[in-house]
Amino acid sequence: WKYINQDMVEEVIDNYFAAGMPLETMYLDIPYMKSYKDFSVDTKAFGLAKRLHDANQKLVVILDAAISADDVNDDVYQKGSTELDIFIKSSMYKSKTYNNNIISKVWPDKAVFIDWFNPKSLDFWTYDLVDYDGIWIDMNEPTTFGHGEIKPDDAEPVTPTLAKKRLMSDDGETVDWYYEFKDQSVGSTFTLPFIPGYVQSDDGKPGPYNGNFDYMTLSLNSTIPSLGETSYNVHSLYGLMMAKRTFEHVTKMEAKRPDERPYILTRSTFASSGRYASHWLGDNWRKWEYMRYSIAGVMMMNIFGIPLAGADICGFIGDTNPELCARWHHVGAYYPFSRNHNNWGQVA
Distance of CA 184 to the CA centre of its chain: 31
Contact 167, 176 (CB under 8 A): yes
Residue 86: CB atoms within 10 A of its CB come to 26
Query: Does residue 156 carry a catalytic annotation?
Result: no
Query: Does residue 85 carry a catalytic annotation?
Result: no
With helix as H, strand as E and coil as C, how does 142-204 read? Answer: CCCCCEECCCCCCCEECCCCEEEEEEECCCCCEEEEEEEECCCCCCCCCCCCCCCCCCECCCC
How far are the Cα atoms of 112, 127, 226, 334 from residue 83, in angstroms, in the given order?
Answer: 15, 15, 15, 46
* C-alpha to C-alpha distance for 173 and 161, rounded to whole angstroms: 26
Q: Of these residues, 141, 149, 214, 312, which one is catalytic?
A: 141
Distance of CA 9 to the CA centre of its chain: 23
First to last CA, the chain: 11
Query: Does residue 323 carry a catalytic annotation?
Result: no
Q: Of these residues, 38, 138, 214, 312, which one is catalytic?
A: 138
* C-alpha to C-alpha distance for 79 and 246, rounded to whole angstroms: 17
Hey, which residues are catalytic here? Answer: 138, 141, 283
